[in-house]
């Protein structure tokens, strides 16, 4: 009965509805994409403002909107180090950068390359130079038998972070209990795409009319990168760098329809639950994505409809079975790169083929066994195989609110992180330097790029508040009134979130001796606090713990990020030493908490806040109220 076409279409629609219920729908996909695109853009505009010459790219499931709570996907961040320039000819050489020729010859695996060092002052290779001119330490260079100075991909070792492990080119940071795992990949940007890859892909014909020629051109216009990892079948694994078209692939993912996204999510669930439940076989979600791309390219667009979801899924796994059987899966954009070369032992290949074929023959029954996000149970309920009361299943609204809460907390924490970049850069700098950084950020207020402008409106108030407080501290320290300029910057910082900007302004007035204005601000701030159910967040320490979110937040987290941040979020209040005269004297001691011996043993990556005064918003509100009301003899 399950095999009849009409019944399979009916089951496909029910399966699609189940995926809608667990958050794989147009609305939630777009919400996730907008959140992580905004996070990426905030990172980049603040990095440019403080003078970091790197670009962050958020990749993978979170950014694509192709995951669920049960899949527990990590956050993938790629850092493009823009001080480096990978070139294919002398005309692409740039003065002031570490330039490397991309070498692809008989010794490199298809889809990989060597990086040959160039001279510092002209576009010529370094030949047998014991001290390479570029900024990468000498230990990461080697002279090959042709006399070329090549860069080793073991450079990633300098990025080693305690409690992290390597997965190819990435450093996987394992979250503590309640934390989010993340993968960080360092890459070097190429001046242009490898000509053969770009031209062949642009000219390739396809049955499915996808990607369109316009989409191909858009994809090729993205940055091509090299990442520090060699092929598993390479004779020179420490010298090879993988050519990455991940940004082009992200463009392609953004072009998929909801049925194709659902198919990909199901592939990952099946991979994790049925094909590779123990995680012992080297098959990845990227391989599933590549299979999906090939299937979309080779099939008519009319195939990819929700009532045909089962057949689309089955076709993808038949394609995967064929690739595993033939030990060949072509990279979608660089087809000479075989993604499964050297990935499986004979036993693993046999087991994987068995699992794939079992699924193909019994796809519906297999789907009923998937516990991720209660997919199997939900499908049983949809098919009326069991009564709904038999399972305690979260409603679709509950799931969407849970996902939205994760996105909101991730975004709020990243606002703190990006503000931290400004604070770290400003630490012990004079007011002029702080203003220069802020002025560079202000340029994004007039950006034609909508994302850059939106990112500016989120992050600018935090920086304005810090700079205004530092100006006010100068005034108070020299026994002058707080200047109108300082107050203007502080007022621009009021809308950062519910409490922190207002509390900084209150602290400035209190420190200047104006307790009446302080009282007025605190009263208004308290009324704001009690108007909504507020979440207090602080991410000054590294763990990114996810706080328990009050049940009263339901109905709020589904709003726009701007509304949520300004109405229900209370971020911590942080003062630099330049702001010391705006800090109540009890908190000033926080800026001198460490002895010289303690300072020697600090972790510079994690303990950057130890010379600041840092306090959660709500305790600071109560503390200032106590100080003010005691001074006014109200208590």
Each residue of 383-434: pLDDT tens digit? 988 887 777 888 898 898 888 888 888 899 899 999 999 999 998 888 999 9
- pTM comes to 0.89
User: Is the preceding omega at residue 283 within 30 degrees of 0, hence cis?
Assistant: no
Q: Which one, of 146, 106, 153, 147, lies nearest residue 128 by Cα?
A: 147
CA distance 7 to 536: 50
The pLDDT assigned to 133 comes to 47
Dist. CA 492–CA 392, nearest whole Å: 48
Distance of CA 311 to the CA centre of its chain: 33
Task: Give the integer Cα–Cα distance in Å for 120 and 141.
Answer: 15
> What mean pLDDT do residues 611-617 have?
91
More confident residue, 212 or 555: 212
Is the pLDDT confidence value at 174 over 90? no
pLDDT in tens, 71-89: 988 888 899 999 999 999 9
Query: What contacts 12, CB < 8 A, 6 or more positions away?
Result: 306, 307, 308, 309, 310, 311
DSSP-derived pairing of the beta strands 535-537 and 569-571 = parallel
Q: How much is the pLDDT for 448?
A: 92
- Counts of helices then strands in the chain (DSSP H, E): 22, 16
Tokens, residue 274: 């049925």
| pLDDT over 50 (residue 42) | yes
Q: Dig out the tokens for 379 from the structure.
A: 């499908």
87-139 pLDDT per residue, tens: 999 999 999 999 999 999 999 999 999 999 999 889 999 876 554 445 455 56
Listing DSSP states for 491-540 in one string gives HHTTTSSSSHHHHHHHHHHHHTT-HHHHHHHHHHHHHHHHHS--EEE--S
Looking at residues 234-248, what average pLDDT do you find? 93
Task: Flag whether pLDDT at 543 surpasses 80.
Answer: no
List C-alpha distances in Å: 88 to 182, 245, 303, 314, 501.
Answer: 32, 16, 41, 42, 50
Torsion, CA 457, CA 41, CA 535, CA 73, rounded to 10: 160
How far is Cα 4 from Cα 224, in angstroms, rounded to an integer? 46
Whether residue 593 contacts residue 607, with contact meaning beta carbons closer than 8 Å, is answered with no
Q: Indicate whether 548 pLDDT > 80.
A: no
Of residues 449, 461, 452, the one with CA closest to residue 419? 461
Q: What is the pLDDT of residue 157?
A: 61
Compute the average pLDDT of residues 320-336: 95
| Percent of the residues in the chain that have a pLDDT greater than 70, as a whole number | 90
Encode pLDDT of 16-38 as tens digits: 999 999 999 999 999 999 999 99
C-alpha Rg value of the chain to the nearest Å: 28
Nearest to 81 by CA among 231, 243, 165, 190: 190
Nearest-angstrom CA–CA distance, 47 and 466: 17
| Mean pLDDT rounded to a whole number for the chain | 87
- Cα separations (Å) of 493 from 249, 560, 581? 38, 20, 18
Per-residue pLDDT tens for 499-532? 999 999 999 999 999 999 999 999 999 887 787 7
Could you tell me if 274 and 373 are in contact, meaning their C-beta atoms sit under 8 angstroms apart?
no
Reported as a pLDDT band with limits 50, 70 and 90, residue 550 is low
Q: What's the pLDDT at 360?
A: 96
The arithmetic mean of pLDDT across residues 322-326, rounded, is: 96
pLDDT at 267: 97
Q: Can you tell me the mean pLDDT for 282-298?
A: 94
Say whether pLDDT at 163 is over 80. Answer: no
């Amino acid at each position: 009965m399950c095999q009849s076409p009409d019944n399979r279409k009916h089951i496909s629609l029910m399966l699609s509805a189940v995926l809608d219920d667990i958050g794989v729908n147009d609305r939630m996909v777009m919400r996730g994409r907008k959140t992580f695109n905004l996070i990426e853009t905030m990172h980049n505009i603040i990095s440019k403002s403080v003078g970091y010459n790197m670009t962050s790219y958020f990749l993978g499931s979170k950014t694509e909107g192709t995951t669920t709570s049960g899949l527990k996907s990590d956050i993938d961040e790629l850092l493009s180090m823009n001080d480096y320039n990978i070139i294919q000819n002398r005309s692409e050489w740039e003065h002031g950068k570490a330039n490397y020729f991309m070498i692809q010859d008989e010794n490199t695996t298809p889809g990989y390359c060597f990086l040959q060092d160039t001279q510092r002052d002209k576009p010529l290779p370094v030949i047998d130079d014991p001290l390479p001119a570029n900024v990468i330490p000498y230990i990461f260079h080697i002279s090959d038998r042709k006399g070329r100075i090549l860069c080793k991909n073991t450079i990633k070792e300098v990025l080693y972070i305690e409690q992290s492990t390597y997965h190819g080119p990435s450093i996987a940071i394992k979250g503590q209990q309640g934390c989010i795992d993340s993968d960080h990949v360092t890459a070097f940007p190429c001046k242009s795409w490898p000509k053969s890859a770009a031209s062949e892909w642009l000219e390739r014909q396809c049955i499915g009319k996808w990607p369109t020629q316009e989409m191909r051109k858009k994809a090729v216009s993205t940055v091509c990168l090299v990442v520090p990892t060699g092929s598993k079948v390479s004779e020179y694994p420490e010298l090879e760098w993988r050519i990455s078209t991940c940004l082009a692939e992200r463009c392609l993912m953004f072009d998929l329809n909801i049925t194709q996204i659902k198919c990909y999510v199901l592939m990952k669930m099946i991979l994790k639950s049925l094909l590779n439940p123990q995680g012992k076989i080297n098959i990845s979600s990227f391989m599933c994505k590549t299979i999906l791309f090939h299937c979309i390219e080779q099939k008519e667009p009319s195939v990819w409809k929700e009532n045909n979801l089962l057949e689309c899924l089955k076709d993808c796994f038949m394609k995967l079975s064929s690739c595993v059987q033939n030990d060949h899966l072509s990279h979608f954009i660089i087809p000479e790169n075989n993604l499964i070369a050297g990935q499986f032992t004979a036993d693993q290949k046999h087991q994987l083929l068995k699992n794939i074929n079992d699924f193909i023959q019994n796809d519906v029954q297999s789907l009923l066994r998937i516990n991720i996000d209660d997919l199997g149970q939900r499908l049983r309920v949809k098919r009326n195989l069991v009564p709904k009361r038999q399972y305690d299943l979260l409603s679709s609204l509950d799931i969407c609110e849970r996902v939205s809460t994760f996105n909101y907390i991730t975004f709020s924490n990243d606002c703190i992180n990006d503000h931290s970049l400004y604070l770290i850069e400003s630490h012990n700098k004079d007011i002029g330097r702080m203003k220069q950084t802020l002025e560079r950020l202000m340029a994004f207020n007039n950006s034609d790029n909508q994302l850059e402008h939106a990112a500016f409106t989120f992050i600018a108030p935090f920086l304005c508040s810090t700079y205004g407080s530092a100006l006010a501290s100068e005034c108070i320290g020299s026994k002058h009134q707080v200047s109108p300029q300082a107050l203007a910057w502080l007022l621009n910082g009021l809308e950062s979130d519910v409490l922190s900007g207002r509390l900084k302004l209150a602290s400035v007035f209190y420190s200047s001796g104006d307790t009446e204005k302080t009282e007025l601000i605190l009263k208004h701030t308290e009324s704001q606090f009690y108007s909504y159910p507020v979440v207090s967040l602080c991410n000054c320490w590294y763990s990114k713990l996810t706080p328990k979110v009050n049940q009263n937040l339901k109905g709020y987290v589904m709003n726009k990020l701007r509304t949520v941040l300004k109405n229900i979020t209370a971020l911590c209040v942080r003062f630099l030493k330049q702001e010391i005269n705006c800090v109540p004297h009890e908190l000033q001691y926080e800026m001198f908490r460490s002895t010289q011996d303690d300072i020697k043993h600090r972790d510079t990556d994690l303990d950057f806040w130890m010379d600041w005064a840092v306090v959660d918003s709500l305790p600071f509100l109560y503390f200032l109220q106590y100080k003010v009301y005691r001074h006014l003899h109200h208590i």
